Structure 1
């Protein structure tokens, strides 16, 4: 059917671009980030392609190994945080635990609250 034809077209397009794998927006939408992160993967947007038998362009994605965001990059600050060492330690621990948890389905939820003006 249509899914098989699209997969075949994407396989050809991937080979032409020098990529191993390309997938459609449908696959990207149906794939859980938790499932991917368990294998140290994420799907990176790879533009749009005109595929034979399709009307309009098809958004494509390619799997990339590694973390989508590194904790260091997310928490590099241009200003020093004063007096929040414990809070930063707890936050970084929660992020680390969610990435390296014993179960691929483990996750952490962190809420950060503050009154207006505390930045």
Structure 2
């Protein structure tokens, strides 16, 4: 029994050490205004306004739990902007990269979080894109 407890303690310690320490503190907002890149480079049109509390909480929970790093250079315009703060790129491997403009940090979301976030933004599945 002691041995099992010892191994479990070491395992939990390793998980806490390896866990991402680059999380950000974001305030949940009342609504999300989604803007999509148009045919004219650099121009965005508002396509959707989200006021559903569950979707907003899910959006911010995904962002709060992501592992953030200093901004990497982006050579193309974001596919979406949310509340003019969050730049969203859809990568070629069907994942979402998010950049927070205010604090110059970005993250590449895991596949599952990318799918959830894309469905919140567009009401479509990312796999169908």
Range of TM-score over shorter length = under 0.3
TM (norm. structure 2) is 0.21
| TM-score under structure 1 length normalisation | 0.22
* Structure with max Cα Rg: 1
Larger strand percent: 2
